[in-house]
């Protein structure tokens, strides 16, 4: 009989789960005492590593003063204000304002709503179409599910959001054609600088620059989904820095707290902000009970402080280069059929016929946790992972693939 907990992205009939009970930096332990190296950062998010006491202390201090209070009008709290200010200073967008929520899924849905309402406020209610890309993963709320480019994740949920379309992920001509077909009616284009859950597909600067130009030409907002790439994962604070392309809105979550507390948000640029301010009587009717949650914001501020103090943003370049070198060597010797990635997000392409889930499960049995995506194994470790641990991850991956290939 399955347990009471209905797990995400799992068979409801599954009764067997690995029970993770403790963590220390890039190392985890289950309830049987088995040790693992976390090579995926839990779910693409644990930049500073697990089990850091100063994070717990920062959250506890805030909770002992005031756990939180609503930030709906007319209230705010110092932690929410400080978090928005800090994120704005790190942002690639000048004169930014920051909307806070509880997750990447909430951030994407909010960005979609802001795009449409800002178009209305700027005098263009006809601009409501949102264009996204195949392979895109934008969370699992109804807006994000509608925006996804992963068809299996859209099955079984009935009518999704109207006016949201997908085009080929790498074809700028297809995007340009879609813009022409919907000329005058486009609210926004949403793109991940690196498509993570869709299989680790980095964009090119040229492609993202063309998206910027298309949005400018059609009066649309460019939205970067940086739920994975934000907060140091590419060796820059945001993927927009890495690719030198500035969006109008940028969604974030995951790495902003390294998963110690649930936080997401939308960084809004001047075009969006000016539209929202154009009518002093306009009332923004969206938000969440836990928007600007004070204890969550305490975790974000401490997480960013640790990242700055320990130089974890530039360290992502080192971590990524070491993983890339290993994947390149495995491709050169024929163990893998290719690799792709950017910063500290990488994927090794498996030989034809190998099941990524089978490879992942064998790696877990060997003490390494990576992520299975059809055709590849993905790596996105905590940025505090040691060189020795990276090498061990690659050794286990090598042995597992070679054993499966020879079987």
- Quickly state the pLDDT bin for 407 (edges 50, 70, 90): confident
101 vs 16: CA distance, rounded Å: 33
CA torsion angle for 101, 105, 110, 115 (degrees, to 10)? 140
Residue located via tokens 């305490």: 298
Please tell me whether residues 60 and 48 are part of one structural domain.
Answer: no
Give the mean model confidence (pLDDT) for residues 91-110.
98
Instruction: Confirm if 254 and 104 have CB atoms less than 8 A apart.
Output: yes
Which CATH number do you get for residue 69? 3.40.640.10
User: Is 333 exposed, middle or buried, given 0-12, 13-18 or 19+ CB atoms closer than 10 A?
Assistant: exposed
Q: Which of 309, 326, 359 is the endpoint of a domain?
A: 309
> pLDDT tens, 194-249?
999 999 999 999 999 999 999 999 999 999 999 999 999 999 999 999 999 999 99
Tally of structural domains, the chain = 2
Q: Apex CA 196: angle with CA 307 and CA 308, to 5°?
A: 5
> pLDDT tens, 320-377?
999 999 999 999 999 999 999 999 999 999 999 999 999 999 999 999 999 999 999 9
Please tell me whether residues 104 and 225 are part of one structural domain.
Answer: yes
Give the mean model confidence (pLDDT) for residues 40-58.
98
Give the mean model confidence (pLDDT) for residues 81-110.
98
Q: Is residue 13 part of a domain?
A: no
End-to-end, the C-alpha distance of the chain in Å comes to 34
Q: Is residue 257 part of a domain?
A: yes
Please tell me whether residues 118 and 235 are part of one structural domain.
Answer: yes
Q: Is residue 35 part of a domain?
A: yes
407 vs 156: CA distance, rounded Å: 37
pLDDT of residue 66: 97
Please tell me whether residues 303 and 356 are part of one structural domain.
Answer: no
Q: For the chain, what percent of residues have pLDDT higher than 90?
A: 99
- As given in the structure block, the two tokens for residue 263 are 């936080």
Give the mean model confidence (pLDDT) for residues 132-139.
97
pTM of the model: 0.97
Give the mean model confidence (pLDDT) for residues 242-264.
98
Give the mean model confidence (pLDDT) for residues 391-407.
96
pLDDT of residue 56: 98
> pLDDT tens, 298-313?
999 999 999 999 999 9
Say yes or no to pLDDT of 47 above 90. yes
Which CATH number do you get for residue 394? 3.90.1150.10
> pLDDT tens, 145-160?
999 999 999 999 999 9
Instruction: Confirm if 323 and 344 have CB atoms less than 8 A apart.
Output: yes
pLDDT of residue 337: 98
Say yes or no to pLDDT of 255 above 90. yes
Please tell me whether residues 44 and 86 are part of one structural domain.
Answer: no
pLDDT of residue 279: 97
Please tell me whether residues 94 and 34 are part of one structural domain.
Answer: no
From 398, 375, 373, 255, select the one nearest 323 (Cα to Cα).
398
Q: Which of 279, 309, 339 is the endpoint of a domain?
A: 309
From 252, 254, 307, 284, select the one nearest 100 (Cα to Cα).
252
pLDDT of residue 87: 98
Q: What residues pair up with 35 in beta bridges, in sequence order?
A: 29
Q: Is residue 8 part of a domain?
A: no
From 92, 143, 106, 113, select the one nearest 264 (Cα to Cα).
106
Say yes or no to pLDDT of 382 above 90. yes
Q: What residues pair up with 225 in beta bridges, in sequence order?
A: 251
- Quickly state the pLDDT bin for 383 (edges 50, 70, 90): very high
pLDDT of residue 1: 76
- The three-state secondary structure class of 262 is coil
Instruction: DSSP letter for 147, please.
Output: H
pLDDT of residue 2: 87
Please tell me whether residues 222 and 194 are part of one structural domain.
Answer: yes
Tell me the residue range of the domain where 35 lies: 20-52+311-406
> Regarding beta strands 97-101 and 129-133, do their DSSP bridges make them parallel or antiparallel, or are they unpaired?
unpaired
Residue located via tokens 């040691």: 386
Instruction: Confirm if 222 and 213 have CB atoms less than 8 A apart.
Output: no
Give the mean model confidence (pLDDT) for residues 22-26.
98
Q: Which of 309, 326, 346 is the endpoint of a domain?
A: 309
What is the pLDDT of the chain when averaged over all its residues?
97
Please tell me whether residues 286 and 166 are part of one structural domain.
Answer: yes
Q: For the chain, what percent of residues have pLDDT higher than 70?
A: 100
pLDDT of residue 16: 92
Please tell me whether residues 270 and 205 are part of one structural domain.
Answer: yes
């Amino acid at each position: 009989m399955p347990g009471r907990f209905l797990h995400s992205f799992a068979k409801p009939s599954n009764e067997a789960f690995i029970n993770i009970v403790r963590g220390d930096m890039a190392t985890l332990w289950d309830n049987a005492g088995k040790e693992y190296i976390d090579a995926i950062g839990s779910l693409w998010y644990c930049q500073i590593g697990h089990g850091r006491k100063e994070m717990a202390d920062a959250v506890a201090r805030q909770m002992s003063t005031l756990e939180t209070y609503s930030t709906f009008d007319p209230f705010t709290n110092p932690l929410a204000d400080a978090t928005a200010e800090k994120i704005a200073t790190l942002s690639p967008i000048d004169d930014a304002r920051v909307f806070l929520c509880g997750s990447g899924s909430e951030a994407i849905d909010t960005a979609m709503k802001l795009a449409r309402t800002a178009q209305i406020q700027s005098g263009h209610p006809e601009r409501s179409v949102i264009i996204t890309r195949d392979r895109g993963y934008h969370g699992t709320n109804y807006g994000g599910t509608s925006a996804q480019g992963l068809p299996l994740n859209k099955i079984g949920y009935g009518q999704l959001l109207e006016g949201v379309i997908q085009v080929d992920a790498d074809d700028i001509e297809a995007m340009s054609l879609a813009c022409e077909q919907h000329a005058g009616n486009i609210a926004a284009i949403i793109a991940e600088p690196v498509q993570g859950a869709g299989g680790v597909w980095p964009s090119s600067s040229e492609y993202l620059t063309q998206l910027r130009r298309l949005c400018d030409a059609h009066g649309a907002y460019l939205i970067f989904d940086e739920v994975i790439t934000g907060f140091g994962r590419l060796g820059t604070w945001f993927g927009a820095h890495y690719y030198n392309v500035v969006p109008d809105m940028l969604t974030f979550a995951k790495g902003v707290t390294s998963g110690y507390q649930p936080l997401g948000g939308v960084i809004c640029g001047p075009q969006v902000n000016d539209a929202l301010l154009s009518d002093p009587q306009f009332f923004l009717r969206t938000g969440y009970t836990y928007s600007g949650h004070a204890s969550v914001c305490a975790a974000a501020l401490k997480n960013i402080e640790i990242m700055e103090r320990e130089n974890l943003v530039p360290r992502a370049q080192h971590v990524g280069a070491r993983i890339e070198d290993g994947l390149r060597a495995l491709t050169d010797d024929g163990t893998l059929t290719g690799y792709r990635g950017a910063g500290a997000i990488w994927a090794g392409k498996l030989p034809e016929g190998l099941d990524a889930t089978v490879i992942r499960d064998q790696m877990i049995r060997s003490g390494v946790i990576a992520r299975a995506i059809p055709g590849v194994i993905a790596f996105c470790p905590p940025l505090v992972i040691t060189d020795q641990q990276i090498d061990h991850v690659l050794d286990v991956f090598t042995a597992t693939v070679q054993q499966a290939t020879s079987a």
